[in-house]
């Protein structure tokens, strides 16, 4: 893969961009390959960690009886924030994202 670096650099320069070496990563097939926080290995998908965190917030809110009990960052409209995160996941993984949206909508 390293042998392609000069070609990649040339294409980036020709397109009018600059390569930021501090942000450049070589990700091999066995690694989690991400671009702007989105997993792009075999297919585009949301990170499992993001889905699991949202699911945990919903689960904990059910146990506590309140969605606001999970608002540890003090967001003004926590429900809308979580629905936005679920909608983002739904764009990348429609089935999983839809389940999260439905779980959120059932919370009081």
Question: Which tokens belong to 69?
Answer: 């009990």
Q: What is the pTM of this model?
A: 0.73
**H helices within the chain, ranges in order?**
5-14, 48-64, 78-92, 94-105
- CA dist 79 and 81 (Å) reads 5
CB-based contacts of 1: which residues, under 8 Å, 6+ apart? 26, 28
Residue 15 has phi, psi (to 5 degrees) of: -85, 0
pLDDT at 29: 79
pLDDT value for 80:
93
Q: Using an 8 Å Cβ cutoff, are 55 and 63 in contact?
A: no
User: What is the C-alpha to C-alpha distance for residues 64 and 80, in angstroms, rounded to an integer?
Assistant: 19
Domain ranges of the chain: 2-39, 48-105
Q: Could you tell me if 92 and 38 are in contact, meaning their C-beta atoms sit under 8 angstroms apart?
A: yes
Contact indicator for 41, 66 with CB cutoff of 8 Å: no
Running along the chain, 108 residues long, what does each successive block of 10 average in pLDDT? 82 92 82 85 88 94 89 92 95 94 87
What pLDDT score does 1 carry?
58
């Amino acid at each position: 893969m390293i042998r392609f670096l000069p070609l990649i650099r040339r294409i980036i320069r020709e397109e009018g961009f600059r390569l930021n070496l501090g942000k450049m990563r070589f990700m091999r097939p066995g690694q989690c390959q991400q671009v702007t926080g989105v997993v792009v290995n075999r297919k585009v998908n949301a990170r499992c960690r993001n889905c699991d965190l949202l699911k945990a917030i919903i689960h904990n809110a059910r146990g506590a009886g309140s969605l606001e009990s999970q608002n540890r960052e003090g967001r003004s409209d926590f429900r809308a924030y979580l629905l936005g995160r679920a909608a983002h996941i739904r764009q990348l993984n429609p089935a999983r994202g839809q389940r999260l949206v439905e779980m959120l909508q059932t919370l009081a």
